[in-house]
Amino acid sequence: MSSELIVVCGGGGFIGGHLVARLRQEGHRQVRAVDSKPVEEWYQRFDDVENLHLDLQEKEACEKATQGATVVYNLAADMGGMGFIENNRCLCMLSVLINTHLLMAARKFGVQRFFYASSACVYNADKQRDPKVTALKEEDAYPAMPEDGYGWEKLFSERMCRHFREDFNLVTRVARFHNVYGPQGTWVGGREKAPAAICRKVIEAQITGSNAIEIWGDGQQTRSFMWIDDCLQGIQAITESEIVEPINLGSSELVSINQLVDLVEAIAGVKLKRSYNLSAPKGVNGRNSDNTLIKKLLGWEPDTRLRVGLERTYRWIFDEVKRTGYRPGAPLPKGVH
């Protein structure tokens, strides 16, 4: 596949940037990265890649992005952590334009394989009310009651992929991501997810000498978190597979937010006083990935232990804080995200 054009939509973002880097390392020489952010603001940028600054909500932009492509990875969306998702439902819903127009363009130009990055936010909220959650199986998305806004967009776009496959023979593959984390991601500014936010808060407590941390919710809510390299391996394996229905792509290592803070404190060598903001966005009470299907169909599941990935993530954010001169409460330095 090294001579065939591969397009990564959302290539200026966290997961997309890592996917572009991986494709280059594997020897692919025809890679096109596309993102709505100006190229100088991309999380990772490579001069030997075709880098396009396009708004993929627009039909014409999607046609420019996909023309000549063999494989398209759609990782593009207006999204962030729970604070962003709960307060920007309309913006999250508008990402439906991205996937719809990309599918139309992929069909028009004869794309051979189309990957769509869905989310565990599609799952029925009634199955996620207990922190001691039963791990979610793929069929638990129906009857539908997903995360309002973001989850509905993802679930609708899954169906759109299905119908383009059934009606137009476009080969589509869909993975439901469970909380991806790692270096080269958002760690400040409002769109960061829990692992990066907790790492930054622990570093802030050290910088300011406050020895205190605020936790959103009561800290009992549970999640699983997937290391970025596991995510990339899963994306490629699912794209190349014959798995036609949406499938979980996540770690099954369940932890509470309090336990997540415990891990980061241990990495940093500190113990902080905790306060709990019960009015802050916290999402569902419990969510975990049932990996029965992916183990059956691929003989593999994401398996990087959270402590291992968190240590690497913490070190990267710590270095970014030093490099950028970031200080809590001050305006964000240029290039910080």
Instruction: Point out the residues that are catalytic.
Output: 150
Sign of the Cα torsion 36, 42, 43, 49 reads positive
Secondary structure letter of residue 142 according to DSSP = -
The total of other beta-carbon atoms located within 10 Å of residue 299's CB is 8
The candidate with the shortest Cα–Cα distance to 76, out of 45, 34, 31, 44, is 34
Q: Confirm if 307 and 259 have CB atoms less than 8 A apart.
A: no
The candidate with the shortest Cα–Cα distance to 159, out of 199, 121, 122, 209, is 122
Q: Can you tell me the distance from the alpha carbon of 212 to that of 319, in angstroms, rounded to the nearest whole number?
A: 21
Q: Can you tell me the distance from the alpha carbon of 223 to that of 121, in angstroms, rounded to the nearest whole number?
A: 12
Task: Give how far Cα 34 sits from Cα of 39, 42, 80, 125, 317, Å.
Answer: 9, 10, 18, 33, 25
Secondary structure letter of residue 259 according to DSSP = H
